[in-house]
Amino acid sequence: MTFTPEVVAQIARHMNDDHADDNVLIVRGLGGIEAASAARMSGMDADGMDFDATVNGIAVPVRIPFSEHLTERRQVRLEAVSMYRRACAALGLDPTH
């Protein structure tokens, strides 16, 4: 499936406005960028999300693959929650939501 630019923009806005802290955990736990102080979702496709992580004031691109190829928009939310939970587990943290 190809997600339209409008859909990607909506998902990015939601992730960046409502889940900024989760983005950082995902980049740290699944992207291996432990020094990230911030992270913004910059894009996505059916196979993963792209983030711009801030490390020592420098933007670093990070690609986090999904656990499976997505075929429907509704899968994005479930995958984002899964990514957050996997990141928490990798960092030894308890999910807060």
| Domain presence at residue 17 | yes
| Domain presence at residue 97 | no
- Tens of pLDDT, residue by residue over 73-94, are 999 999 999 999 999 999 999 9
- CATH code at position 30: 3.20.180.10
- Alpha-carbon Rg of the chain, whole angstroms? 12
- Tens of pLDDT, residue by residue over 8-42, are 999 999 999 999 999 999 999 999 999 999 999 99
| Residue-number span of the structural domain to which 55 is assigned | 5-91
The domain total for the chain is: 1
| Domain presence at residue 96 | no
| Domain presence at residue 69 | yes
Residue pair 70/76 in contact by the 8 Å Cβ criterion? yes
Mean pLDDT of 60-68: 96
Residue 37 CB contacts under 8 Å (≥ 6 apart), including other chains: 24, 54, 55
Residue 56 is given by DSSP the state T
CA distances from 20 to 23, 48, 68 (A): 5, 17, 23
